[in-house]
Structure 1
Amino acid sequence: MADSNVLKAQKYLNSMFGGHSAWVKLEEDGYTGTAVMQGIIRAFQIQNGISDATGTVGPLTISKMKSLPEIVKMNPSDPVSVNVCLIQCALFCKGYNAGGITGIFYTTGVSAVSEMQKDAGLPVTGKIDWKVWAGLLSMNWFKTVSGGNSITRLIQQQLNSEWSHIIGVGPCDGIVSRQTALSLVGALQAAEGVTTELITNLNSVNFGNATTAAFPAKLKSGQNSSYYIPFNKLVQYGLYFNGYNPGRFDGIYDDATASEVEDFQKFYGLTGIGLVTAGEVNVSTMKSLLTSKGDTGRKARACDCATVLNKQQALDLKNAGFTHVGRYLTGSVGTAHTPKYLTLTEIGYIKEAGLSVFPIYQDGGYYLEYFQRPSQGTVDAQTAVLAAERIGIPENSTIYFAVDFDCYEYQINLFIIPYFRRINLFFNSSENHRKYRVGIYAPRYVCTKISQLGLAKTSFVADMSTGFSCNLGFPIPSNWAFDQFYEYTFPSSPNFPIDKDAFSGRDEGASSFDAVPEKTKEELEEENRKALLEIARNQYIYDVLDPLGYMDKALELGISYNKEILLDTYTTGNSIVTITAEFSTEMKRISDKDYNIGISIDNSGSLTTGCQNQIIQASSDIDLGKLGNGADFSKVLSSIALSVKSGNISLGLEYVSPKQAKFSIRVSSEDLLPEDPDVEAGITVEIGFTITLNNDNDDRFDEAEFAEAALKVVAGVAVVAIICLVASTGVGALLEFLAGGGFLLLA
């Protein structure tokens, strides 16, 4: 909701600073947020002579805030202060009643600053010092927001109260943000004396060698002198942010705190490897409390690698104490495209060494765009299952699908969740012959969210990326099986890179494999070619059906060729409409009576002008009445063309009789694998719309009208069928359209 005081602030700022070359005009809409706060910061920088008015707070701006004299309660007759006006604007935008934008810091303003100081955990003085400036001229919020909780807010207030001279004035909104998570490490460095100056960029903090060396030998129950209290508090904060509540946040290390520490150590796999003493916090435990990767020097039972292991490498891993190794089902690495996938020969070495395997699928997933193609989850699921079957991965094994980038909440909701829903649809279908299970490799929060939705059985956690927003401040997922925390070069013959992974025991991996026949190189190449062709055909089918809303139905029914399958049935008073699909492993001949559109994509990934023009021509000059206009046609056809990216779309009339007519849309390609000159593979996906009129009345199709109709008009009828059914405008509307065009005679 727009706020009149925020609107006043926006108008004041535009009026006061609009003539300055560095000013960026604010939208005067009364809404607080990033833009208006950047405006206040930029105004402060202009007003106080900071040459680089960026709208962001850096060392120069903080230094200027510190150099300004404190502003205390003024008299009404005092000269107006522009800096006071800026404070009043900021107070309004943070939800505090500043009284007005008067430039006089008086009673209401003092009360507002006092309220802000209390909310932020700062000393309540009612005076404007550098911490008030830093807090108000930031993106931080000091009141509990939706989703925030009181204990997190208490921790945030205590951090500000005790460490804001080092870590700055952080938010007190009840949310464990990136800034809050990083503040714990900054506060630890301050408690150790490693850091004595204000940290102007918390992204620079690191639990490195100096922080490690300065940490006390151990923190434990009953060790509560003034020296230990600050460290104990950080232990309690870290416990809470990792899902363990010690019940107190005062720095008193009691038995309850020790019990929570012990539970944390057990769950995070820190016990049993000579690393920690149960219930006591050494530097290794502290690293796991405050960072996602923890102590990278700790032992690990599991690892993963992209190297195809030879006999010596497998034996060396076992002799080094590893029991489980993660290996890829497909793909290659590097510019030389070195294969990274698990082989039958390698499986023999792994079994001989006494190792178990947990399979990983990752042929992409390093960037958001990979997940934006609706069919990607289905294609990946099929590819992974086929690859796992070919090398004998046993029944009920978990395959880990990768989300290997730092994504945000909205991206998880829009793309990652649908991706895993598609994977699960395939895994729950008859195509998953060996009942493989879905796992996820991703940052902590992504794993947690996907698993809580029931879309992953266990998690392989990408904890090496400590800076990922989905790792910072989030507990490890409750179903974690493997926790990746350190990459190094493993000494062997030859040496090779591995990632160390903590092991929870929730997934024992595969130690025995199904028998599969040995194949020659030529047989393997032929098998790979067949698999690629099958996947390419299925992907083409999915890409046609998804824009029409029938992809899930095809998954449910399974894909078979040269056989008509029923997708849907609609009934109205006088007719029944059935929607069918038929798939062919060749490109069917396009009839002279069909309206054909050649699909072509330009270098930017958009439809070429020629393709767009054909779609426009197919949908122009067709009067849909209340159904819409040509733009509706174009939208459906364009979505199909963009989805499949190559081939042809043909629209036409299959047949017509007095009581039945069938219209079709065919999407086809004659070369599914253009990169392989040895493979000639076509495909046709035909969607049929059959309208059957009721025999009990005299309604009938006018066969003569159809025979005489222009090609484009008949094509238009086919597209109208798509519009009516896909857009849920109804069968009745379709019949009305046919009657209006003279194709349907009504009794």
Structure 2
Amino acid sequence: MADEMIKRAQRFVNSVYGSRIGMTVEEDGQTGWNTMYALTRALQYELGITSLSNSFGPTTLSTLNSKYPQLYETTIPSEDFCRIIQSAMYCKGYDGGDIDGVYSIRVKQAMLKLKSDMGVDASNSVLIPKVFKGLLNMDAYVTVNSGSEAIRSVQRWLNGRYVNRGDFFVIPCDGHNSRDVSKSMLFAVQYELGMADGVANGVFGPGTQSGLKSHTVSSGSTGTWVSLFSAGMILNQRSVAFSSSFGSSLADAVRAFQSFAKLPVTGSGDFQTWASLLASYGDQSRKGAACDGVTKITPARAAALKTEGITYVGRYLTNPSTTSLPEKAIQPGELQTIADNGLRCYPIYQTFGRDAAGFNYAAGRAAGYAAVNAAVDHGFKNGTRIFFAVDFDALDHEVTSNVLPHFKGIEDSMADTGNAYLVGVYGPRNVCTRVGEAGHSTASFVSDMSSGFSGNYGYPLPADWAYDQIVTRTVGSGDGKIEIDNNIASGRDIGQNSFNKPRGTVPDVRFDGGFLNALHDDLGRFMRSIGYADDGGTGADAKLFTHTQCFETIMSFDTLITQLSNRYSMRKALIQTNAYWEMRHYDLIDQAVDHQVASYHLNGVGAVKDSSTGIAQISGRVGIIAWNHCINKGFASGTVLDPNKDSDIWTMWQKVNKDNAFSVQTVSLLHLWGVDGKPGGDNPPDGETILRSMRLDYTEKEIFELVRRYQGWGKLPNGERVEEHATKRMTLYQIFEKYNGIVRNP
């Protein structure tokens, strides 16, 4: 709802400063960052700063300190300067008077209230520079969104005690922990350790750690150190009172926290407990019972891990790269080595998803199926928990928009497979907590080593944590030397120490009809989940073929597809996926364009000489180029045609339009052409890279590339990006591969 006084504030900054500060704001009566930015720029203009910025940074603060260290009715330099203050007060939710340039009694009373809410000196209504900085941001100084009063009491205390220190700025008092609040705690500890301004830096470094080792607090302790320790407990969402006295209730809560975090249970605020409260990784000298790594576990390395006290080893199900970390994925025979040496393995699934764009529902669906297929390949038994990685600093809104839908996709794929495996999540604390609370995972593997991640800074250890990754170290020597990420284990997940026989990389075989119904249902279930009705749908997006028609058409060519697969060392699923997907998308528009092509060649009417046609949606020109390439390479035999000659385009177009078997064969040739970078095709500006020669053990990245290249690059006619379609088709690939894998490995 619009606030009239905020609207007046916006009108003021636009009319007086708009042309001076290089921006205006929407006069909508709602507080937002743009309004705060404009007021910040207006203040900088009044201070004589020539290089204006949205940031209330060091220059603004130092200039304000030097010119107007105390602002009140007799020191405010002008009416417009006062109006900036009054406007900011309204945007912050306080009474700014009539925005008339007068620092009136109303404004002074509101300033007293603001400073009291902040926890800073409220004995007077003087506006000091750091309070002004806090006035020109979007922080709240009252509890919001069910904020904790206990956390707010800590925030106000920190502001009041340290606001006059050099690098400490007013923090929000909204009842929520955050990056700024957690960093302010580190500044507070450093100040109490005697670090000077400019030395204290808010980093949990060697000096801070050394100082804390001599500041253990325990039952009977009193003073500021107890206040800081109880504040740390509160910010980690432990139910204690904010107090300067260490009583029995605090000791009990400390024991509970230590037990939860797998620390020595002493009931005292010792160094390890301080460290776990102040930094996500805690005391990095701890030795955990778990590790993860990208190096094969050999007998010598297994012995080194055992000597180090490690029992649980995290290893990757797949390696999307063909050029780096050659031992990242579980290697042949490795799981048996792990078991033979008394270790247990927990599997991790990770691809290239290093930003939010790689996470969505369709990608999650593909990830779920891919992980299951890989787990079965390696021999992991039912009931194993697979940890799916979110290995980037996902902001909270990205967790909502991308990560949660992604894990819903994983969960749905797991359900399709009968929930043979459990879903775990690897990532920062906030990611793990939110995925778990949404019901999409059963345990967390926490990337606490990345202490600077926004999703770790200010968030407590997830309640369902299984592994806590705290430091990278090298253990062992000689043949047993290995670099690992050392992890604390909670016991919630214990990995596996016995495995089924791994599935080998063997050629595909004819499909077993006993699995037809299951494959049909899995494919249909997935397509429905992304908006494709079994009957083809109705309205503008209606398709001409039903799911069953597409499925039966593709599977009717199983003998041919098997032969092509064996001939080219190409997984059947590659051919099945694209043929099914393209036939599933054939609609009235495609049909109308096909009629136009026929009319052009048969009747000389119109100008449409080519189109993507037939069950695999292949154009005459593309078909010619792919066939020519494969004929020249010795992959196929036939007549070389001219892709620029109308009669040759018409010859190829008729074949892919009418001869379904020919279209299926052409799909395989399009993939072989794609492997070589699609020479002669409509490639992106830098060209398509050349992949490894076609083989049965292609990585997911290589499969994705071929699936994507089948449709080209850039945008499709409907505006969707080819990559989006490829992500969805990857799930189809994994579903086909699931059943093909079962059949070829009975």
* Contact in 1 for aligned 2:33/2:137 (Cα 8 Å): no
- Change in Cα spacing, 1:131 to 1:369, as seen in structure 2 (3 Å) is closer
- Change in Cα spacing, 1:250 to 1:620, as seen in structure 2 (3 Å) is farther
Per the alignment, residue 29 of structure 1 pairs with 28
Per the alignment, residue 6 of structure 1 pairs with 6
User: Does the alignment pair 1:234 with 2:228?
Assistant: yes
* Contact in 2 for aligned 1:463/1:484 (Cα 8 Å): yes
Q: Which stretch of structure 1 is more off in the superposition, 508-517 or 107-116?
A: 508-517
Counterpart code for 1:285: T
Q: Which stretch of structure 1 is more off in the superposition, 213-222 or 347-356?
A: 213-222
Counterpart code for 1:87: I
* Contact in 1 for aligned 2:465/2:492 (Cα 8 Å): yes
Q: 1:423 aligns with which of 410, 422, 425?
A: 410
Per the alignment, residue 126 of structure 2 pairs with 127
User: Does the alignment pair 1:251 with 2:244?
Assistant: yes
- The 5 A counterparts of 1:642-721 are 670-671=667-668, 673=671, 674-675=674-675, 678=694
* Contact in 2 for aligned 1:313/1:493 (Cα 8 Å): no
* Other structure's SS at 1:449 match: helix
- Change in Cα spacing, 1:234 to 1:647, as seen in structure 2 (3 Å) is farther
Per the alignment, residue 711 of structure 1 pairs with none
The offset of 1:441, in angstroms, is 0.8
Per the alignment, residue 531 of structure 2 pairs with 548
Q: 1:338 aligns with which of 315, 323, 326?
A: 326
Residues in 1 aligned to 2:152 and 2:591: alpha-carbon distance in whole angstroms: 57
- The 5 A counterparts of 1:723-734 are none
Residues in 1 aligned to 2:77 and 2:332: alpha-carbon distance in whole angstroms: 84
User: Does the alignment pair 1:187 with 2:173?
Assistant: no
Per the alignment, residue 137 of structure 2 pairs with 138
- Cα deviation, 1:491-539, whole Å, max 9, x if unaligned, reads 434544311111001111111222447x5xxxx26479x9xxx9x9999
* Other structure's SS at 2:467 match: strand
- Cα deviation, 1:533-572, whole Å, max 9, x if unaligned, reads x9x999998886554345xxxxxxxxxxxxxxx66999xx
User: Does the alignment pair 1:313 with 2:306?
Assistant: no
* Other structure's SS at 1:428 match: helix
The offset of 1:337, in angstroms, is 5.5
* Other structure's SS at 2:86 match: helix
* Contact in 1 for aligned 2:25/2:34 (Cα 8 Å): yes
Per the alignment, residue 424 of structure 2 pairs with 439
* Contact in 2 for aligned 1:80/1:104 (Cα 8 Å): no
* Other structure's SS at 2:463 match: coil
The offset of 1:18, in angstroms, is 2.6
Per the alignment, residue 206 of structure 1 pairs with 203
Per the alignment, residue 261 of structure 2 pairs with 268
The offset of 1:23, in angstroms, is 2.6
- Change in Cα spacing, 1:82 to 1:648, as seen in structure 2 (3 Å) is same
- Cα deviation, 1:326-379, whole Å, max 9, x if unaligned, reads 00111155844624111342123212221111111112332212113x422222
**Greater fraction of residues in helix:** 2
- Change in Cα spacing, 1:525 to 1:82, as seen in structure 2 (3 Å) is farther
TM-score (structure 1 length as normaliser):
0.70
Q: 1:382 aligns with which of 369, 372, 381?
A: 369
Per the alignment, residue 627 of structure 1 pairs with none
The offset of 1:416, in angstroms, is 1.8
Residues in 2 aligned to 1:389 and 1:173: alpha-carbon distance in whole angstroms: 48
- Change in Cα spacing, 1:122 to 1:513, as seen in structure 2 (3 Å) is same
- The 5 A counterparts of 1:634-649 are none
The offset of 1:430, in angstroms, is 4.2
The offset of 1:405, in angstroms, is 1.3
Structure 2 unaligned segments of length 5 or more: list them: 539-544, 558-585, 597-611, 621-662, 676-691, 697-702, 708-746
* Contact in 2 for aligned 1:375/1:542 (Cα 8 Å): no
* Other structure's SS at 1:253 match: coil
TM-score (structure 2 length as normaliser):
0.70
Residues in 1 aligned to 2:98 and 2:695: alpha-carbon distance in whole angstroms: 75
The offset of 1:453, in angstroms, is 2.4
The offset of 1:477, in angstroms, is 1.3
Q: Which stretch of structure 1 is more off in the superposition, 189-198 or 466-475?
A: 189-198
- The 5 A counterparts of 1:47-66 are 47-66=46-65
- Change in Cα spacing, 1:358 to 1:72, as seen in structure 2 (3 Å) is closer
Residues in 2 aligned to 1:184 and 1:619: alpha-carbon distance in whole angstroms: 68
- Cα deviation, 1:603-626, whole Å, max 9, x if unaligned, reads xxxxxxxx99976976999xxxxx
Residues in 2 aligned to 1:646 and 1:304: alpha-carbon distance in whole angstroms: 45
- Cα deviation, 1:190-224, whole Å, max 9, x if unaligned, reads 1112243598xxxx631001111222524333453
Q: Which stretch of structure 1 is more off in the superposition, 413-422 or 437-446?
A: 413-422
Residues in 2 aligned to 1:356 and 1:457: alpha-carbon distance in whole angstroms: 19
Residues in 1 aligned to 2:418 and 2:163: alpha-carbon distance in whole angstroms: 58
Per the alignment, residue 170 of structure 2 pairs with 169
Q: RMSD across aligned C-alpha pairs, in angstroms? A: 4.0
* Other structure's SS at 1:109 match: helix
Q: Which stretch of structure 1 is more off in the superposition, 215-224 or 435-444?
A: 215-224
* Contact in 1 for aligned 2:148/2:175 (Cα 8 Å): yes
Per the alignment, residue 106 of structure 1 pairs with 104
* Other structure's SS at 1:325 match: strand
Counterpart code for 2:409: R
- Change in Cα spacing, 1:617 to 1:465, as seen in structure 2 (3 Å) is farther
* Other structure's SS at 1:548 match: coil
Residues in 2 aligned to 1:645 and 1:84: alpha-carbon distance in whole angstroms: 70
Per the alignment, residue 466 of structure 2 pairs with 481
* Contact in 1 for aligned 2:345/2:497 (Cα 8 Å): yes
- The 5 A counterparts of 1:239-638 are 239-246=233-240, 248-271=241-264, 278-332=266-320, 335-336=323-324, 338-372=326-360, 374-430=361-417, 435-494=420-479, 495-516=481-502, 524=505, 526=507, 546-550=529-533, 580=548, 582-583=550-551, 584-585=553-554
Per the alignment, residue 685 of structure 2 pairs with none
- Change in Cα spacing, 1:197 to 1:645, as seen in structure 2 (3 Å) is farther
Residues in 1 aligned to 2:594 and 2:185: alpha-carbon distance in whole angstroms: 61
- Change in Cα spacing, 1:587 to 1:408, as seen in structure 2 (3 Å) is farther
* Contact in 1 for aligned 2:219/2:251 (Cα 8 Å): no
Counterpart code for 1:428: A
Residues in 1 aligned to 2:475 and 2:80: alpha-carbon distance in whole angstroms: 62
Per the alignment, residue 221 of structure 1 pairs with 218
User: Does the alignment pair 1:150 with 2:149?
Assistant: yes
Greater RCO structure (CA 8 Å; 6+ sep)? 2
* Contact in 2 for aligned 1:144/1:172 (Cα 8 Å): yes
* Other structure's SS at 1:481 match: strand
Residues in 1 aligned to 2:588 and 2:325: alpha-carbon distance in whole angstroms: 40
Structure 1 unaligned segments of length 5 or more: list them: 272-276, 551-565, 571-576, 589-610, 622-639, 650-666, 684-747
- Change in Cα spacing, 1:678 to 1:110, as seen in structure 2 (3 Å) is closer
* Contact in 1 for aligned 2:217/2:225 (Cα 8 Å): no
- Change in Cα spacing, 1:79 to 1:181, as seen in structure 2 (3 Å) is closer
- Change in Cα spacing, 1:48 to 1:527, as seen in structure 2 (3 Å) is farther
Residues in 2 aligned to 1:231 and 1:198: alpha-carbon distance in whole angstroms: 20
Residues in 1 aligned to 2:250 and 2:501: alpha-carbon distance in whole angstroms: 51
